Amino acid sequence: MANRRVLAIAAVVIVILCSAAVAFVLTKPDSGDATFTIIHTNDTHCFFDGDGGVGLSTAAALREEYSGSRPVFTVDAGDFLQGNSYGTMTVGEGSVRVMNAVGYDFAVPGNHEFDYGLDVLLERAGQLDFPLICANLVYEDTGKSLFDEYLILERGGVRVGFFGLITAETPHSSMPGAMGNSKVTDPVMAAERMVSLLKGENVDSIVAVGHLGVLRQGFTTSDELCKMVPGIDIFIDGHSHTEMEDGKVCDGSIVLDESDTVIASAGCFAQNVGVVTSGPRGIDAKLYRGPALAYAHTDRAIETVVHEVDEKLATVIGGTEIFLDGELANIRSGETNLGDLVTDALRMAAGVDVAFTSAGSLRASMAPGDIKLKDVCDVMPFLNYTYTLNVPGSVILEEMEYSLSLIGSYSGGYLQFSGMTITYDPDEIYGSRVKSLEIGGKSIDMDATYSLATIDFVAKGGSGHRYLEGYELHPFRIMDVIFADYILSIGTVTDSTIEGGRLIAVRTLGTMAACAHSGYWSTFGHLPL
């Protein structure tokens, strides 16, 4: 069904963020220095060629390179089915083919594995030549695990116990309803149970492979878990797209909680491949940054998938004279011209007063030049449906206050919008940041009814957007189709195409008390998680 849906969309209209790789010379320790090696990837998001980095063929080549001298295990820490057109246009099946050609021993599911729904995840899991494992993902009605909780692999006399974990953030960052009859349980309790179990299995080492990340956003991170749960020798991490070496974040932006566990993470988009070696001299966790290595079997699989999708998406639908900014750090923390353009497309197509979309639904920039269907699919790979609804002005204000509270967190729940001009004070507390809000050039009326269009993720409460709950939703169209149609109608995007200046920061310290007594903010509660 999902495949037919994507093909139908393609028939109508539709038929990446980490640093550049640097040169690295592969050097291997003498075989006596290491008991085993783990080759690991995470958050590849269907960027098979590494998005300018080393790519997945390098992971396969490194596995072969190291296996000549010691036992090697190859693992992925989640978010591999979704992220660009090669995932979207094949509903994740293209990624399955490529990962099978890499030769992983196992993977753990990430939150974006649910983007096509639970049924598709289970179908794709059945197509993999290797298992998915996870110790804290169960069927809600029975409590039974969706996948095996752990895996013991014995190679060359080395016996390693692996277990999997997924972030408790998954229900909040997945499309509401996408998890179906499944739920995430406490990762700390699951880890404690796994460590106790594996200690009784006579393993040489205990390795957790988790999609937890290290960003402090109200959910247990990998370093917090390792501090609370002793006995984990190595934690292969994902989710936060963090580059780590020897248990430390490479750019120093995050200081991890200390523990006896070495945490490793390879960033994102297969730009790097992680190499962890463990032996008598300790644990060494490095990133292989280049050059890219060839591996014929994987190369052929990538070429096949890329050719099939590129053929469908090669149609030019327009062009742009300007860079359309979809860079994560920008689009999740302020207004960008791409966010303006996308939400203009939605507002005009739906004929509504206001439109907004979550910044997390927009996943790539557009460089000057031709705009192809592939570019549209890369920008918005999630095939979000849209809805229209009617809400009072107070709800729109609440939504924008919540959105502004996310600035600085790089949350995908931050909103890009159209039809409004907002002046705000970033120094004020939550509920008091908006100083003026105009819709259609007029000050917002808290009691008036406005027509609104947004994507399903926001309309159904994703990333804490609870303010639209209870309002009648009217299904509209798929966002990709709306945006592609808009580009077709424009022809070429120029500076004059987009009216910016919709979000204006001002500093008005000292006005908070006056606002508090005005009754203007009485509808606000506490910041939702």
The arrangement of strands across the sheet holding 205-211 comes to 150-155, 158-166, 205-211, 234-237, 262-264
Mean pLDDT of 134-141: 97
C-alpha 492/C-alpha 514 separation (Å) is 47
Look up residue 521 and give its DSSP letter.
T
3-class DSSP state of 279:
strand
C-alpha 449/C-alpha 390 separation (Å) is 6
Each residue's pLDDT tens digit, 103-129: 999 999 999 999 889 999 999 999 999
CA-CA-CA-CA dihedral for 105, 108, 109, 110, to nearest 10: -120
Among candidate residues 275, 263, 419, the one with its CA nearest the CA of residue 347: 419
C-alpha 235/C-alpha 162 separation (Å) is 10
Within 225-350, strands assigned E span: 234-237, 244-245, 248-249, 262-264, 273-279, 282-288, 316-320
3-class DSSP state of 473:
coil
**Residue 524 confidence (pLDDT) above 50:** no
3-class DSSP state of 213:
coil
Fold classified for 34-307:
Purple Acid Phosphatase; chain A, domain 2 (3.60.21)
Among candidate residues 370, 362, 309, 319, the one with its CA nearest the CA of residue 479: 362
Residue 465 burial (CB count, 10 A): 23
C-alpha 244/C-alpha 398 separation (Å) is 38
Residue 485 burial (CB count, 10 A): 18
Please state whether the predicted TM-score (pTM) of the whole model is above 0.85. no
Residue 199 burial (CB count, 10 A): 12
Residue 470 burial (CB count, 10 A): 8
Q: Provide the CA 284 distance to its chain's centre, in angstroms.
A: 28
Each residue's pLDDT tens digit, 164-175: 999 999 998 877
C-alpha 319/C-alpha 366 separation (Å) is 10
* CATH of range 316-517; options 3.40.50.300, 3.40.50.2300, 3.10.105.10, 3.90.780.10: 3.90.780.10
Mean pLDDT of 244-262: 95
Residue 316 burial (CB count, 10 A): 12
| DSSP-H helix ranges across 179-221 | 187-199
Among candidate residues 2, 62, 70, the one with its CA nearest the CA of residue 30: 70
Each residue's pLDDT tens digit, 439-486: 999 999 999 999 999 999 999 888 889 999 899 999 898 899 899 999
Q: For residue 304, what pLDDT band results from cuts at 50, 70 and 90? A: very high
Residue 375's Cβ-count burial label (10 Å; 0-12, 13-18, 19+) is buried
C-alpha 527/C-alpha 70 separation (Å) is 51
**Mean residue pLDDT across the chain:** 89
C-alpha 73/C-alpha 79 separation (Å) is 19
- Check: CB of residue 485 under 8 Å from CB of residue 312: no
- Check: CB of residue 327 under 8 Å from CB of residue 381: no
C-alpha 401/C-alpha 395 separation (Å) is 10
Among 167-176, 389-398, 503-512, name the one with the lowest average pLDDT.
503-512
Domain boundaries, the chain: 34-307, 316-517
Mean pLDDT of 299-312: 95
- Check: CB of residue 249 under 8 Å from CB of residue 243: yes
Mean pLDDT of 492-508: 94
